[in-house]
């Protein structure tokens, strides 16, 4: 009889633990935390802080997919940003993320799809980001970043 009671107690605890974990998940708060990561990244980029921008990505093994290539690694991505976008506000441009949707795949995994625009004098760009976020040690980070980008064609000068 005691074994039966212990077995029943063990089963009830086993089923109750996942329910408590689901109840503790606050989707609104977690969505806000993810969007804060994106907002912080945007602010860092726009002040020329590439290292701060990279804080939104899983370090060291984030995966970047862009331009038909898979690029592994946090440091390589940082080096690419510094090399390709340079030290000046004109070469770096102003980055804006917008129209973002977040879908939770699990309490520690989410997908974000959103648009971005990079305004700069030469080669302004727009595109779409698809990002897999993971919650690691209580912090949301981008584990996989896919970019589909295109250069923006400036409107023709109006004839006057």
Res 155: pLDDT: 65
* pLDDT of 19 higher than 50: no
Check: CB of residue 80 under 8 Å from CB of residue 87: no
**CA end-to-end span of the chain, whole Å?**
95
The domain limits of the chain are 26-151
**131 closest CA partner among 94, 89, 102, 96:** 102
Predicted TM-score (pTM) of the model is: 0.81
Res 86: pLDDT: 93
pLDDT tier for residue 153 given thresholds of 50, 70 and 90: confident
Res 151: pLDDT: 84
CATH architecture designation of domain 26-151: Roll (3.10)
* pLDDT of 15 higher than 60: no
* pLDDT of 32 higher than 60: yes
Res 7: pLDDT: 44
pLDDT tier for residue 11 given thresholds of 50, 70 and 90: very low
Who wins on pLDDT, 18 or 66?
66
Q: Per the structure block, which two tokens stand in for 55?
A: 């804080």
pLDDT (tens digit, 9 = 90+) per residue, 58-104?
A: 999 999 999 899 987 999 999 999 999 999 999 999 999 999 999 99
DSSP string covering the chain, please? -HHHHHHHHHHHHHHHHHHHHHHH--HHHHHHHHHHHHHHHHHHHHTT-HHHHHTTB-TTT-EEEETTEEEE-HHHHHHHHHHHH-SSHHHH-EEEEEEEEEEEEETTEEEEEEEEEEE-SSS-EEEEEEEEEEEETTEEEEEEEEEEEEEPPPPPPPP-
Res 67: pLDDT: 87
């Amino acid at each position: 009889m005691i074994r039966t009671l212990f077995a029943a107690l063990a089963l009830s605890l086993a089923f109750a633990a996942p329910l408590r974990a689901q109840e503790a998940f606050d989707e609104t708060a977690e969505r806000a935390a993810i969007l804060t990561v994106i907002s912080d990244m945007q602010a860092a980029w726009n002040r020329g802080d590439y290292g701060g921008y990279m804080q939104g990505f899983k370090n060291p093994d984030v995966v970047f997919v862009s331009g038909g290539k898979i690029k592994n690694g946090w440091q390589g991505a940082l080096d690419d940003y510094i090399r390709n976008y340079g030290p000046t506000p004109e070469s770096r441009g102003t980055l804006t993320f917008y129209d973002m949707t977040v879908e939770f795949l699990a309490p520690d995994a989410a997908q974000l799809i959103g648009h971005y625009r990079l305004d700069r004098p030469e080669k302004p760009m727009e595109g779409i980001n698809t990002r897999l976020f993971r919650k690691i040690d209580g912090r949301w980070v981008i584990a996989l970043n896919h970019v589909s980008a295109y250069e923006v064609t400036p409107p023709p000068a109006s004839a006057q």
